[in-house]
Structure 1
Amino acid sequence: MGVGTGDMTGTRHASEDGVQLVLHGVDHTARPTWKLNETVEFYRDILGLPLVHAISARGWGPPGHHDFLHFFFDAGKGATIAFFYYIGSERPERYVPEEHHFYFATHTAWAVETEDQLIQWKETLENRGIKVSPYTKHEILESIYFTDPNGYPVEITRRLRETELIDEVDARLTIQAALEIETECREAGRLMPDIDTVWRRKAKLVDAYRESA
Structure 2
Amino acid sequence: MSETAPHPVKLSGVHHAAYRCKDAKETVEWYGEVLGMDYTTAFAEDHVPSTGEYDPYMHVFLDAGNGNILAFFELPNQKDMGRDENTPQWVQHLAFKVDSEDELLAAKEHVESLGIDVLGPTHHGIFKSIYFFDPNGHRVELATDIGTHEQYAELKRVAPMMLEEWSQTKKAPRHADWLHELARQEHAAK
Tell me the TM-score range normalised by the shorter chain.
0.7 to 0.9
CA offset at residue 38 of structure 1? 2.7
CA offset at residue 116 of structure 1? 1.2
Q: Please name the residue that 1:75 is paired with.
A: 64
Fraction of identical pairs, as percent: 30
| Compared CA separation, residues 34 and 70, structure 1 to 2 (3 A) | same
CA RMSD of aligned residues (A): 2.7
Q: Please name the residue that 1:91 is paired with.
A: 80
Q: Aligned AA for 1:18?
A: A
CA offset at residue 96 of structure 1? 3.9
CA distance in 1, matches of 2:102, 2:111: 14
CA distance in 2, matches of 1:16, 1:34: 50
CA distance in 2, matches of 1:64, 1:71: 20
Answer yes or no: is 1:109 the counterpart of 2:98: no
CA offset at residue 26 of structure 1? 3.3
| Compared CA separation, residues 139 and 37, structure 1 to 2 (3 A) | same
Matches of residues 1-213 of structure 1 in structure 2 within 5 Å?
A: 18-20=5-7, 21=9, 23-60=11-48, 61-62=50-51, 64-91=53-80, 95-96=82-83, 102-161=88-147, 162=149, 163-181=151-169, 192=170, 194-195=171-172, 198-199=173-174
| Compared CA separation, residues 37 and 53, structure 1 to 2 (3 A) | closer
Q: Please name the residue that 1:208 is paired with.
A: none
CA distance in 1, matches of 2:92, 2:72: 15
| Compared CA separation, residues 151 and 53, structure 1 to 2 (3 A) | same
The CA deviation string for residues 144-181 of structure 1, in whole angstroms up to 9 with x for no partner, is 00000011000000111245432222212111112233
Higher relative contact order (CA 8 A, sep 6+): 2
- TM-score of the superposition, structure 1-length normalised? 0.69
| Compared CA separation, residues 121 and 24, structure 1 to 2 (3 A) | farther
Unaligned 5+ runs, structure 1: 1-14, 182-191, 203-213
CA offset at residue 122 of structure 1? 0.4
Specify the structure having the higher radius of gyration (Cα): 1
Hey, which of these two has a bigger chunk of strand by percent?
A: 2
CA distance in 2, matches of 1:102, 1:18: 40
CA offset at residue 63 of structure 1? 6.1
